[in-house]
């Protein structure tokens, strides 16, 4: 939910889009439909003026209608907001029933749209279909074994069912809901119509998203949940019964065979450890078994005396060996980690090398193909780098490469990756961004490098610029190398048209047209 709020807020606050909100509705609709195409969960996105009239909506829906009374619009006039799940109101007739036959239900996201001077221009609202939550629930339950018979419910902050057993029903008492809110995590036995072992977790917000107070409940029928414990208890009872019978039979046998000599031997043994003057037992009398037993006990006591000394020495040696092994293991782990870093990093800039970058890029491409989340690739090249080497020397050139790498590394997010592919060439992979966002990032890096002289050890500050080629991932791309190849062609255009600029593959296609 935080990610959805951030996406809608980014559209409302994006600097290049500041001028469209007062423009023709067709332009506003086009921007919103592009956002909807990347995130099919949005059933409707619309923009309403401060008086509550919808000025533009995806597919033209609700344009001209008033949403002044809708909670998402009222709260969106004040600040960014996320509204809880509800049935479709104005959109019910336009959308019809959901694929599962239930009414359409939405989670509303709304943010205020303001002009450069802070004047409120309107509210940008997005209705996210609640069906995505049902699909997530279905996928999670599909990964469980059928015999586990687990169900997952989602309740709102009042304890009403949003997903699971009857929308809007209240399956738990007020006391149970209060306990979940107080403890945040709670396991309990639900003794209703279908008794179950339930585990509840209270969700929370993230950063400036305060959350909706939803509660996630995982339930498993009580007889299924307790089956392993019952089987274990039965095993313990049966094993204990058999052991008791065996011990009773053995006791009866010993009582018949050993009788008095065994009691005497037991009394002598009882003195060991209680009387410091007694260290062994006397020779037994009676049956040959008792004699052999007393002989064995005497021999055992002698060995115990020797073994205690040896055991103490062995324990000391074992402890010393354990400490040495632990130290070697720790040093080995540190050495292994250091070798991994050396294998994955470019030694000059500390950025990823080509091999490590390919591993990350392959994962990003798999994510792109599966979830259709956009990724962009930038190819960055230092302008006239040969001139830097010829004028200031290769040591200064290395300092320039290191400085450019530091700026690029500081600009990327934690989810993005930057690598040095050799020489003065760098490659950056941006996840979860569109072409406009990638162009803004590339321009910012270009301006930072152009404005910041690179420090060198011997030649003082050296001013350099960069040229950047940009390409977005496409469905027909076989791997990340296809994207890099297009970005490299855009870099060539940036170089040939004056350098110190960013060129995207879209510009090449428009120029060709």
Q: What is the CATH number of the domain that holds 378?
A: 3.30.70.270
Do 15 and 58 lie in a common domain? yes
Model confidence at 329: pLDDT above 70: no
Do 427 and 360 lie in a common domain? yes
The string of pLDDT tens digits covering residues 469-479 is: 999 999 999 99
Q: Is residue 406 part of a domain?
A: yes
Looking at per-residue pLDDT, the higher value among 260 and 72 belongs to 72
Q: Give the chain's domain count.
A: 4
Do 95 and 12 lie in a common domain? yes
225, 243, 277 - which closes a domain: 225
The whole-number pLDDT of residue 12 equals 86
Q: Is residue 326 part of a domain?
A: no
How many residues are given for the chain? 513
Looking at per-residue pLDDT, the higher value among 19 and 249 belongs to 19
Looking at per-residue pLDDT, the higher value among 423 and 227 belongs to 423
Distances (CA, A) of 404 to 471, 488, 491: 21, 18, 17
Do 359 and 501 lie in a common domain? yes
DSSP 464-475: --EEEEEEE--T
The pLDDT confidence band at residue 89, using thresholds 50, 70 and 90, is: confident
**Residue (of 9, 11, 242, 19) closest to 115 by Cα position:** 19
Do 34 and 94 lie in a common domain? yes
Q: Which long-range contacts (CB under 8 A, 24 or more apart) does 395-398 make?
A: 395/456, 395/457, 395/458, 396/456, 396/457, 396/458, 396/459, 396/462, 398/348
- Least confident among 53-62, 186-195, 206-215, 439-448: 186-195
Do 374 and 506 lie in a common domain? yes
- Least confident among 82-96, 302-316, 430-444: 302-316
What is the average pLDDT score of the chain? 84
Model confidence at 338: pLDDT above 50: no
Q: Is residue 252 part of a domain?
A: no
Q: Is residue 253 part of a domain?
A: no
101, 130, 159 - which closes a domain: 130
Q: Give, for 355, the enclosing helix (H) or strand (E).
A: helix 354-371
Q: Is residue 340 part of a domain?
A: no
Q: Is residue 211 part of a domain?
A: yes
% of the chain residues with pLDDT over 70: 85
Q: Provide the CATH number for the domain around residue 113.
A: 3.30.450.20
Most trustworthy range by pLDDT among 22-26, 148-152, 157-161: 22-26
Model confidence at 205: pLDDT above 50: yes
Looking at per-residue pLDDT, the higher value among 400 and 86 belongs to 400
The pLDDT confidence band at residue 328, using thresholds 50, 70 and 90, is: low
Looking at per-residue pLDDT, the higher value among 194 and 38 belongs to 38
Looking at per-residue pLDDT, the higher value among 467 and 14 belongs to 467
Most trustworthy range by pLDDT among 147-151, 180-184, 393-397: 393-397
The whole-number pLDDT of residue 332 equals 47
179, 203, 225 - which closes a domain: 225
Do 72 and 17 lie in a common domain? yes
The string of pLDDT tens digits covering residues 377-392 is: 999 999 999 999 999 9
Model confidence at 334: pLDDT above 60: no
Do 158 and 290 lie in a common domain? no
- Least confident among 104-113, 315-324, 403-412, 440-449: 315-324
Domain of 94? 2-130
Q: Is residue 233 part of a domain?
A: no
The whole-number pLDDT of residue 104 equals 75
The whole-number pLDDT of residue 262 equals 64
Model confidence at 502: pLDDT above 90: yes
The whole-number pLDDT of residue 474 equals 94
Q: How many CB atoms lie within 10 A of CB 61?
A: 18
**Residue (of 435, 392, 401, 440) closest to 421 by Cα position:** 401
Looking at per-residue pLDDT, the higher value among 41 and 477 belongs to 477
Do 11 and 125 lie in a common domain? yes
CB burial class (10 A; 0-12, 13-18, 19+) of residue 149?
A: middle
CB 127 within 8 A of CB 108: yes
268-293 average pLDDT score: 69
Do 43 and 100 lie in a common domain? yes
Model confidence at 340: pLDDT above 60: no
SS3 for 247? helix
The whole-number pLDDT of residue 187 equals 79
Give the 3-state secondary structure percentages of the chain, helix then strand then coil, rounded to 5.
50, 20, 30
Looking at per-residue pLDDT, the higher value among 40 and 277 belongs to 40
Do 54 and 196 lie in a common domain? no
Beta partners for 151? 219
The whole-number pLDDT of residue 100 equals 63
410-433 average pLDDT score: 94
Q: Is residue 327 part of a domain?
A: no
CB 281 within 8 A of CB 301: yes
366-376 average pLDDT score: 93
What's the token pair of residue 328? 């070697």
The whole-number pLDDT of residue 397 equals 94
Do 506 and 361 lie in a common domain? yes
d(CA 350, CA 361): 18
């Amino acid at each position: 939910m935080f990610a959805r709020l951030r996406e809608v807020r980014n559209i409302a606050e994006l600097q290049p889009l500041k001028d469209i909100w007062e423009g023709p509705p067709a332009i506003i609709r086009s921007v919103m439909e592009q956002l909807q195409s990347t995130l099919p969960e949005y059933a409707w996105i619309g923009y309403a003026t401060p008086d509550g009239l919808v000025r533009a909506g995806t597919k033209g829906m609700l344009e001209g209608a008033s949403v002044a009374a809708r909670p998402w619009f009222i709260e969106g006039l004040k600040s960014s907001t996320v509204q809880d799940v509800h049935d479709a109101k104005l959109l019910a007739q336009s959308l019809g029933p959901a694929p599962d036959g239930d009414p359409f239900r939405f989670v509303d996201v709304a943010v205020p749209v303001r002009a450069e001077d802070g004047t409120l221009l309107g509210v940008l609202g997005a209705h996210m279909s609640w069906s995505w939550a049902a699909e997530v629930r279905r996928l999670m339950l599909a990964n469980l074994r059928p015999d586990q018979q687990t169900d997952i419910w989602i309740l709102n902050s009042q304890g009403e069912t949003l997903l699971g057993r009857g929308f809007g029903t209240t399956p738990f008492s007020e006391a149970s809901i209060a306990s979940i809110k107080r403890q945040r995590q709670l396991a309990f036995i639900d003794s209703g119509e279908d008794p179950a072992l339930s585990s509840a977790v209270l969700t929370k917000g993230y950063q400036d998203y305060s959350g909706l107070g939803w509660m996630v409940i995982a339930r498993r029928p009580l007889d299924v949940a307790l089956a392993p414990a019952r089987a274990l208890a039965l095993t313990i009872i049966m094993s204990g019964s058999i052991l008791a019978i065996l011990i009773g039979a053995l006791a009866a046998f010993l009582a018949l065979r050993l009788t008095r000599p065994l009691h005497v031997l037991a009394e002598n043994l009882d003195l060991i450890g209680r009387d410091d003057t007694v260290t062994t037992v006397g020779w037994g009398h009676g049956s040959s078994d008792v004699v052999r037993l007393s002989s064995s006990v005497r021999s055992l006591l002698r060995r115990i005396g020797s073994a205690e000394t040896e055991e103490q020495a062995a324990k000391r040696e074992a402890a010393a060996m354990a400490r040495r092994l632990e130290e070697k293991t720790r040093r080995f782990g540190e050495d292994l980690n250091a070798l991994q870093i050396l294998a994955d990093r470019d030694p000059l800039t500390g950025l990823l090398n080509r091999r490590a970058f390919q591993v990350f890029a392959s994962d990003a491409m798999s994510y792109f193909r599966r979830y259709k989340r956009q990724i962009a690739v930038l190819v960055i090249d230092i302008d006239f780098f040969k001139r830097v080497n010829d004028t200031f020397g290769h040591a200064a050139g290395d300092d320039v490469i290191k400085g450019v790498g530091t700026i690029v590394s500081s600009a990327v997010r934690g989810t993005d990756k930057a690598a040095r592919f050799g020489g003065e060439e760098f490659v950056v992979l941006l996840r979860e961004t569109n072409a406009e966002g990638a162009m803004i990032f590339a321009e910012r890096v270009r301006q930072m490098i152009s404005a910041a002289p690179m420090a060198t050890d011997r030649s003082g500050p050296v001013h350099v610029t960069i040229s950047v080629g940009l390409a977005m991932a496409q469905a027909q791309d076989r791997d990340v190398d296809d994207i890099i190849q297009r970005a490299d062609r855009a870099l060539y255009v940036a170089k040939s048209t004056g350098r110190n600029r960013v060129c995207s593959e879209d510009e090449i296609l428009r120029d060709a047209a």
